Structures are given as C-alpha cells and as structure tokens.
Amino acid sequence: MKAFGMKSLSLAVLGLVGFGMASSASAVCPYPFNVAGGGAWSLQTTNNATLAAASPGLDASNCKMTAYINAGSGPLATGAVIDTSPTAEASYHFRFYIDTTTLGTMANLTSVQVFAANSAVNFPITGNNQTLALMRIGLAGTGAATNLVAVSACNNGTNFRCTGSVALSPGVHWIEGHLTFGNPAITNIWVDKASITNDTTPAPDITLGNFDNSEWGGVETVALGLGGTSPNFRANLSGPTHTVGFDSFDSRRQTFIGQ
Amino acid sequence: MKCVKFAAAIALCLGMGQAFAQTCAAPTALTAAGVAGVDGCAATNTVSVVCSFINNPSPDTIFSFTLAGAFTATTISVTTTTGTYQPQLILQQACGSVDECAVTGNAAAQGGGTNVSLTGLSGAYFLVVNGTSQSLATDCGTFSLAVNGSLPVQLQKFSVD
C-alpha cells in the first residue's frame, strides 16, 4: 500500500486513498474524487447513481462525499469511489464516517452495500456463491431497525459467507474495522468508538472470529459508496432525498484508527 | 401403462398439498395452475442470506419455471393461511445465491401476501418462498402460489412403460 499518512481534508483517506482536495485552488469541495480529476481515490464509478462533494463534512471537516441511487435504476446501480492501492493486504484496518439520516429506519428486505474490501481471487470455483469480496459492509432493514451488517467470505462449505450485524440508528456514525486474511481469519467492526486499543478492547460491535478465508486473497481493492441495492431500496430509498454522506476514510495495515 | 407427464400436469400428478421437492437441486416445477396448500415449514433453510446482507433463517421452498416463447403471466402471488407467517419471495436465476436480488417481494405483515413481477424477464428462474423475519427460523406456514396468466409449458419427464 501507499504510505499511510492521513490527508487532512475532505473525505480524508489515510494512506491508501481519500476524498482529497482537488488540484483547483478555488474548489471548496473538490470533485471528482479520483486521481485523474485531482482527487486521491484511484477511481470513482457511477452507474445510475449520483456522486457529489458537499459541505460541511461529517468529521468537523469541510467536505464530504454524497451519494444516492437514481430513481428508477436497476440492480447494478452503483455510486462509489475505489482504491486500488492495496496489494494482497493480509491485515487491513479501515475507518469511515457515514450519515444515514435520510434512510431512516429501513423496511424489511431493504438493503444496500456501503463498503467492500475485495480480493483478486474469485472463490468458490463453481456454484452460485462465488465472490471476490473478502468483506462487505451493508445496511439492512428489519422494519423495526436498520442493521449494520458485515459479510465476510469464509470457506464454510455452504454459502461461503459469515455474517454479523448490529443495530445502527439513522444519523452520523463512524465505522471502524479490522479484517485479516488466512486461516484463521477475523473480522471485527466497531461503531462510534473513539479509541480502539486492540481487537478486543473495546469489544467489537460485530466480531467474526476464527474462520477460513485463505482460499481468497488479501485485500486488493476497496470501494466506498452505495451499491448492491435490493429492489425495495431502489423503490423506496432512491433519489436525492435519500442522499447518504461519507467522510474521513482512513486505512492502515497494522494500527487502529479511532475517531 | 403409458404415462406422459408435462409440467402443466405436474400439480395434478402430485396432488395439492402433498410433499414437494424443495431444494435448488430438486425444485418443484411451477405452472400456470399455481400450487395450493404447500407446507413451507416442511422445507429446510438453504438460502441463509438474501440480497447480500439480509439474514434468512426460515425454511426455503424452491420452485422453478422458464420464461421463453409465448406466455401471458405478469405476476406470481403468494398467499398464506397461517396468521403468523409473513411470506417473502426471491426470484433468482442462480438458485441459492446470497447476492442475486433483482426481483423480490415480501408481505407487509404476518398473514399477508405479496407478489413478484415477471415483466421484462426471460430465461430459467427459481422462486424461493421463505419468511420475511431475519431472526425467526419459525417464520413459515402454509402457502399458495397463483400465476396470473400462462407460463410456457415445459417437458419435465417423458416415459413409455
């Protein structure tokens, strides 16, 4: 990976990528976010979704990324920024801020992906549950609450997924995670923890421990934004009135990040 | 005895309310006649996660059909006679996929019904019937499926005895 120094503005991306300032000195909230556009992320992608920069940010910062799924879009709708700088990372720490206020309490069968850490290996070799995603984070409604859901690739011989969830109230939260590659592997997720000392202190809000993801590979690509929507999400939570904010992304190999 | 079995006659051959094959490997062919009185609780949980992030602990009853050629059906609807059951429908081409989530439907409340649209679809599909609850493995019950038009007739089995 690139050096892990935090960029100070916008959707600050530590080391890897970021929603960094664009080259234009006059831009208050620079856009686009990709390197070619003057930002810090490797790529940004939109397919029936809308990305923008907006002010203020979510972390006492000046700017944030906003994303929404366009009304009437299909299941491939995606609006995200992508970091391709990781290289088979066997230990990956990340932290980002997210504002889910406009999504409210999501209904049943309503879900959306907000983060993914992908490997370069598609596994299992056959079947209907092949995936490159070493770990994904999504939001899923139950009708009574919205859950933050972590889904890790795991060689369990059945659906090749290990999952865990925690309730997430509508609003601004910071999500921190630590995932590892190998056997045994772990995925730990913390919500709104100001300081994290190690994988057990404070106790993770989601912990997936001692599973086998060695058939995949280390983290190669990271995506932050909206995608993987369910039909109910697209039907009821699309359009600019359901804009989600992202800010202050940070990633590291070994150390925890905190608020 | 000669026995020619077509999908259109499957329901009659099996009889309503009897045991159905319920897995991705052995789904029940769904015809325009629909099915009635299916005991969803007799199935097993084979699609433990739907739409990537939604836990599904309830039993999954699997049906299959192919949309090709001429057909008039535009929706498949589920109703239940079990007051505590909140039906959910997931239409998939990759049966059992935790990620494929293009067409879904779920009842708004226990005892309610829902449907999925077939508009714009073509090819072979699996219909997963399970429960909406993300925590209760007991979200199941007796259900019926209705098709609002014709489906292509599929040759399921042919034998001359």
Give the CATH number for residue A56. Answer: 2.60.120.200
How many whole angstroms separate alpha carbon A49 and alpha carbon A196? 34
Average pLDDT over residues B137-141: 98
Of residues A22 and B93, which shows the higher confidence score?
B93
How many whole angstroms separate alpha carbon A204 and alpha carbon A233? 28
How many whole angstroms separate alpha carbon B7 and alpha carbon B28? 10
Would you call B88 and A109 a contact, using CB atoms and an 8 Å cutoff?
yes
Average pLDDT over residues B132-160: 86
Of residues B2 and B152, which shows the higher confidence score?
B152
Residue at B39: amino acid letter: D
Q: What is the DSSP string of B138-158?
A: T---EEEEEESS-------EE
The SS3 call for residue A98 is strand
Residues 6+ apart with CB under 8 A from B96: A128, A129, A159, B24, B46, B47
The SS3 call for residue A199 is coil
Q: Tokens at residue B45, please?
A: 């949980």
Domain membership of residue B152 as a residue range:
2-160
Chain A residues within 8 A of B52 when measuring between CB atoms: 111, 113, 136, 138, 151, 228
Residue B11 is predicted with a pLDDT of 37
Contact B130, B88 (CB under 8 A): yes
Residue B157 is predicted with a pLDDT of 61
Q: Tokens at residue A148, please?
A: 């933050």
Q: Tokens at residue A201, please?
A: 């202190």
How many whole angstroms separate alpha carbon A200 and alpha carbon A188? 9
The rounded mean pLDDT for chain B is 86
Q: Is residue A11 in a domain?
A: no
- Nearest CB partner across the interface for A108, out of B49, B94, B132: B132
Residue A11 is predicted with a pLDDT of 42
How many whole angstroms separate alpha carbon A98 and alpha carbon A192? 11
Instruction: Report how many domains make up chain B.
Output: 1
Q: For each of chain A's 259 residues, which pLDDT tens digit applies?
A: 333 233 332 344 434 344 443 333 344 688 999 998 888 999 999 999 999 999 999 999 999 999 999 999 999 999 999 999 999 999 999 999 999 999 999 999 999 999 999 999 999 999 899 999 999 999 999 999 999 999 999 999 899 999 999 999 999 999 999 999 999 999 999 999 999 999 999 999 999 989 999 999 999 999 999 999 999 999 999 999 999 999 999 999 999 999 8
Which chain A residue shows the shortest CA-CA distance from B96? Answer: A128
Q: What is the DSSP string of chain B?
A: -EEEE-HHHHHHHH-TTS----SSSSPEEP-TT-EEEEEGGGSB----EETTTEE--S-BEEEEEEE-SS----EEEEEES-TT--EEEEEESSTT-SS--SEEEE-SSTT--EEEE-TT--EEEEEEEEES-SS-TT---EEEEEESS-------EEEE-
How many whole angstroms separate alpha carbon B35 and alpha carbon B12? 10
pLDDT of B106 strictly over 80: yes
Chain A interface mutation, best of B23, B54, B132, highest count of A Cβ atoms under 10 Å: B54
Would you call A161 and B49 a contact, using CB atoms and an 8 Å cutoff?
yes
Minimal C-alpha gap between B5 and chain A (Å): 30
Q: Is residue A190 in a domain?
A: yes
Q: Is residue A210 in a domain?
A: yes
Q: Output the CA–CA distances (angstroms, integers) from residue A70 to A31, A74, A119, B49, B147, in the order listed.
A: 19, 9, 28, 26, 31
How many whole angstroms separate alpha carbon B50 and alpha carbon B55? 6
Which chain B residue shows the shortest CA-CA distance from A106? Answer: B54
State the pairing for strand pair A64-69/B35-39: unpaired
Domain of B49: which CATH number? 2.60.120.380
The SS3 call for residue A75 is coil
Instruction: Report how many domains make up chain A.
Output: 1
Of residues A26 and B75, which shows the higher confidence score?
B75
Would you call B98 and A232 a contact, using CB atoms and an 8 Å cutoff?
no
How many whole angstroms separate alpha carbon B116 and alpha carbon A238? 20
How many whole angstroms separate alpha carbon A45 and alpha carbon A138? 18
Domain membership of residue A91 as a residue range:
35-252
The SS3 call for residue A234 is helix
- Nearest CB partner across the interface for B53, out of A74, A108, A111: A111
Give kind and range of the element (H or E) at residue A93: strand A91-99
A6 — phi, psi (to 5°)?
-75, 135
